[in-house]
Structure 1
């Protein structure tokens, strides 16, 4: 591989605002509550819709910060690029390195969930076989190009929309028949209200919103990165957040006695209550496709673009920035992520991974919101509009993210801190103990 091929071949610009928004929504997996609902029930004491609502508010204000950065810096790399350009290269690398932890775990948890549902559907196929097939398929699709990923996303979005519309319609039917009754248990349960538990659940919920960040990793593959990326981010957050809140709110109507639900099959029990076994089977198939092939595929796309940006800048090995001359995709980064995801999926269990996610994303969001304040307010616009956009809004995003960050599981904090220490060591090595500048993108 010649050095010229690492630097002269660029990513293909083909994605519209709609493509980016759907990519983000599919990354966040509209049917995610089906798989995660049970794990939220106990810490949130049934107030799952409240956890999703808090998560949406936190991500919306942080999404405004992303939109501001994407207009100024229309490049791949997400938090890594935005914090680097907004503050300095060293801090940018630490922020990007932090969010890489979550992105490496996203395909892992989606493969594990897909495999567990697949094994339940067809017991004769072991979970490891599901994982291998899905991981290899997703890697091949990613190597073929982001256009192919986008078309696949649209198809799976339609499948998930159909299942959720059937669930909503079936729930409303029971309401009209008088078999279920409206209640607020999913938002506020006065006899079991515990804000710390809700925030703990919100910390896990955040992983369901990570797709909006993934949109920014495709900036160099968008037709209009300065305008499309920010719009797509806000559309994706509002769209998926509303869907999550409505779905879990109606789940509280269907089965308000959440203590009677099995945490491993909670939402399946609810679906069976409103739609019967046929809807349960259809939902299981859609979950397998959505988590394994949509969420896992797009998680691999996103992390490969961050590694591509870091490799291009030289903070990580240059080989990661190799772009295939025909397919216009970062092949080395994609293959590396595919191998790592496969190994992690075959060695870790779902509970462990679900407790680890969100640390890196929240850490990155904290740095990014502060970067907006530093770059656009303290060093820039101090008008009334500028104060609202570049001080008040990112401060709200920072505060809510910090609130959730401090409520994360202790295991997530320990593993996250170890990961950041490794990143700091890489930074020390590349800067010769800060005797020279960290490698960064020259605009």
Structure 2
């Protein structure tokens, strides 16, 4: 187990696992590219995908729910940054848990994290199918889904540079829509006369209690998963011990401000607690701001955002699978990079195959599974900071007490609070997945008689 002093060893320009051919990444990502990857993963317009559902759940207090989620995520994002500085390698919560608690615990954390990343592209494909089928009813939704999966897979096979470049286009299109929406919505709100500036936080008449706000925050925390994704690109980042923590915090703060701004202006524009259809409430809000023309632009920007998120999330999960393949907890073929492309071809293709389940699963089921996996990962990373720095590293002075116990401990408590807001479906499906992982680990270790394989990383 590494001590705190071990984590400052210099990194090679191209990290290569000892004895493992074809595992060297190219360090090409700076802070701007990393932040863009995180923002595209989140999809700035994702606020509109759950807008009606959370507005009704919180009694019109969507802004309050986003603020609560942001507070929780800032503590947890800081913990991700701390662990990325200690272990600047791919694998995210899997790597951090393995290095802090051991390979067995790390495997179970990575298994839960896989649940998130394998299913997140699927949500985007489902939304693409739904929106494009609504715009072009003659074309079946499944065709849009399949074409999207193929396009995203090809771009990821080409390499992370192609993904990063595509992200500039995606973020630019969404940014243009956000500016137009805010301007048009502000003009409409100004013409409505007196405005209650606190209404987005106090909600509609009769809204009371903090529990609905936390229930909404439990759903909305998924909007912040982009900072988690940033940590998986550590082996392709320049000077990762410096860039990854900064990119994680910047991504979280920027996304939180965007979400809060859009939630606030949307409520002022259409201050209602119920809609004709919660699933399509975003259309009502956008339509009131700019009519059918803005709705058409919104649909285009949303589709682009969903494609960008699918692109980034597939890239992210392929790197987690690659890390687990290198360690031996998954088949070794998953831990190799293509000698010419420099990308994990087999994990990328595997992720695309799983994404085809979007043809048969629904949004509710997929969202429930993701909620469970996300909170497992958040809890594990907060615990890892305490274990690695405070317990193993013995950094327990006044500053260490704050940084290595109180702050990650607060993040853990807030995350556990969100756990209490999960639905029964989330728990039943999530625990089933965790049980499957435990069975696989038992088989892998011959009934826990053999040690769990793990990856020896340089400098770790």
Instruction: Verify same fold: TM over 0.5.
Output: yes
Runs of 4+ in 1 over 3 A off after TM superposition: none
Could you tell me how far apart the structure 1 residues matched to 2:370 and 2:214 are? 14
TM-score of the aligned structures, taking structure 2 as reference length: 0.92
Residues 322-354 of structure 1, C-alpha deviation per residue, up to 9 Å, x if partnerless? 200111100000000001111x10011123222
| 1:352 matched residue in structure 2 | 365
- Counterparts of 1:148-297 in structure 2, within 5 Å, are 148-178=162-192, 181-189=195-203, 191-291=206-306, 293-297=307-311
CA drift at 1:13: 1.3
Could you tell me how far apart the structure 1 residues matched to 2:20 and 2:346 are? 11
| Cα contact 1:204–1:355 (8 A) shared by 2 | no
Could you tell me how far apart the structure 2 residues matched to 1:41 and 1:325 are? 49
Residues 256-314 of structure 1, C-alpha deviation per residue, up to 9 Å, x if partnerless? 122245212211111111111111110011111111x1111111111111000000000
- Counterparts of 1:355-434 in structure 2, within 5 Å, are 355-379=368-392, 380-434=394-448
| Cα contact 1:200–1:409 (8 A) shared by 2 | no
- Counterparts of 1:27-42 in structure 2, within 5 Å, are 27-42=41-56
Q: Give unmatched runs, 5+ long, in structure 1.
A: none
**Range that drifts further, 403-412 or 193-202:** 193-202
CA drift at 1:424: 1.1
| 2:329 matched residue in structure 1 | 315
Could you tell me how far apart the structure 1 residues matched to 2:122 and 2:80 are? 26
| 1:341 matched residue in structure 2 | 355
| 1:66 matched residue in structure 2 | 80
CA drift at 1:34: 1.9
| Cα contact 1:6–1:318 (8 A) shared by 2 | no
CA drift at 1:46: 1.6
Could you tell me how far apart the structure 1 residues matched to 2:244 and 2:303 are? 29
| Cα contact 2:318–2:348 (8 A) shared by 1 | yes
| Cα contact 1:180–1:254 (8 A) shared by 2 | no
Could you tell me how far apart the structure 2 residues matched to 1:272 and 1:53 are? 25
CA drift at 1:38: 1.5
Residues 199-242 of structure 1, C-alpha deviation per residue, up to 9 Å, x if partnerless? 22222212111111111111111111111111100000000011
- Counterparts of 1:117-128 in structure 2, within 5 Å, are 117-128=131-142
| Cα contact 2:83–2:384 (8 A) shared by 1 | no
Could you tell me how far apart the structure 2 residues matched to 1:180 and 1:350 are? 38
| Cα contact 2:325–2:334 (8 A) shared by 1 | yes
CA drift at 1:5: 10
CA drift at 1:243: 0.5
Could you tell me how far apart the structure 2 residues matched to 1:179 and 1:115 are? 40
Q: 2:50 is paired with a residue of what secondary structure? A: helix
Could you tell me how far apart the structure 2 residues matched to 1:262 and 1:351 are? 15
User: How many residue pairs are counted as aligned between the two chains?
Assistant: 438
Could you tell me how far apart the structure 2 residues matched to 1:306 and 1:260 are? 39
